[in-house]
Chains A and B, each alone.
Chain A
Amino acid sequence: MAIANGAAAGENIQGNSQDKKVELFLGRLLRTGVLLAAIVVFVGGVWFVAQSRDEIPNYRSFRGEPTELKHIPKIVHQAFSMRPLGIIQLGLLLLIATPVARVFFSVVGFGIERDWMYVVITLMVLALLIYSLGSNALSSGR
């Protein structure tokens, strides 16, 4: 995709090589997460379309999703019960989890570098992400 810059790559080694290693690992992590999510969404999507192809979709008025498609534990349950919409939603959850994993491994990366200030900063970001997703998972799931 990107044009590899030979000279730049050489320079990086003398530069902040530990940072660089961590960044490359994170890049691969992100790509893998997205691909995995896309595959799950695609599988669920094909199934969903095959099952309901003759229905007329209507998104004109907002009804909100049913509980089983907005509460994280229930989404997982739906997906493992082989409901196509649940599988798509699980794929989207994987997608949402990908940047969260990126932040988590950044904490580890800064920890290895013993950069405690950035361990704390990154933990703050992680806490917010967990708050946002966790408040969903822990909600009563009405």
Chain B
Amino acid sequence: MNTLEFSLVVALGSFLAGFLGSLTGLGGGVVIVPLLTLAFGVDMRYAIGASLVSVIATSSGAAAAYLREGYSNMRVGMFLEIATTVGAVCGAFLAGYLSTSVIAIIFGLVLLYSAYGSTRNYEETTADAPPDRLATLLNLDGSLPTEKGWETYHVRRLPIGFGLMYVAGVLSGLLGIGSGAVKVLAMDQAMKIPFKVSTTTSNFMIGVTAAASAGIYLRNGYIDPGLAMPVMLGVLAGALTGARVLPGAKVKTLRFVFATVIAALAVEMIFKGIKGTL
């Protein structure tokens, strides 16, 4: 393949990844690295560099739409970003020391978790949990529009959420992904923040987290312009298209199919990581 063909094929693959990622809510970033490494034989480090850049693009590109809906919680996002950015800097440094085989295996495990997480059914719980002292002190409680008008929710178990966010940041910096699945786990499951608020706030945080590792990636020479260009443009166009289609789409089957694909990619990455052929 010459440069023209390579750029077009990578852009097309990235477009599909971004499109499916935004339709299913899984994010395009999770499949970019397996796509580049398994299908195009790209070195792991170039792949995570290009993926990280595309993660910033989709997160920031979608934020405007999310913000209009009025679900995201700026204070929760900003407070937890302390944990994710510290984690992201640690993860980016770590990426320079771990072998690509180890990174591939960790990547596969995170992919498996993302696939599993996406098929789980979320129940909207605006459970009447009592206010939490720390959350009240930090003024984190918020409200969201429901069928019955605006309902307030209380943020719970801040330390656990903060810790999980650190982990999400490390994974993001290490693997060049948004780790939306772990962020949602922290907010939705641990901190009992309503699902809609969790997903939109998580999207808002992903760009900042990724930007924290980008400087280190750049310095380590992971961000190759020739590769990042088609990936970033493809994923961004795909994600924006997906967001337009979303309101009318039947995503349940699609999500299951996409989750299956991700699980298969995960197994292959783990396998290749163990064999050391990535």
Contacts and interface: CB of A to CB of B under 8 A. Distances in A.
Contact of B2 (A8, A27, A53, A136): A53
Interface string B129-167: 000000000110001010001100000000000000000
A70 B150 CA distance: 48
B214 A11 contact: no
A1 B68 CA distance: 10
Interface residues of B, number: 75
Contacts, number: 228
| Main DSSP-derived SS at the B contact region | helix
Interface residues of A, number: 78
Given A23-B74, A30-B63, A129-B212, A88 B229 contact: yes
Given A1-B243, A57-B226, A125 B81 contact: yes
B61 interface: yes
A94 B216 CA distance: 16
Contacts of B216: 132, 135-136
A49 interface: yes
A53 B3 contact: yes
B102 interface: no
Interface of A: 1-5, 7-9, 11-12, 15, 19-20, 22-24, 26-28, 30-31, 33-34, 37-38, 41-42, 44-45, 48-49, 52-57, 59-65, 69-72, 85-86, 88-89, 92, 95-100, 102-103, 106, 115, 117-118, 121-122, 124-125, 128-129, 131-136, 139
Interface of B: 1-4, 6-7, 36, 40-46, 53, 56-57, 59-61, 63-70, 72, 74-75, 78-79, 81-82, 85-86, 88-89, 92, 138-139, 143, 145, 149-150, 207-208, 210-216, 218-230, 232-233, 236, 240, 243-244, 247
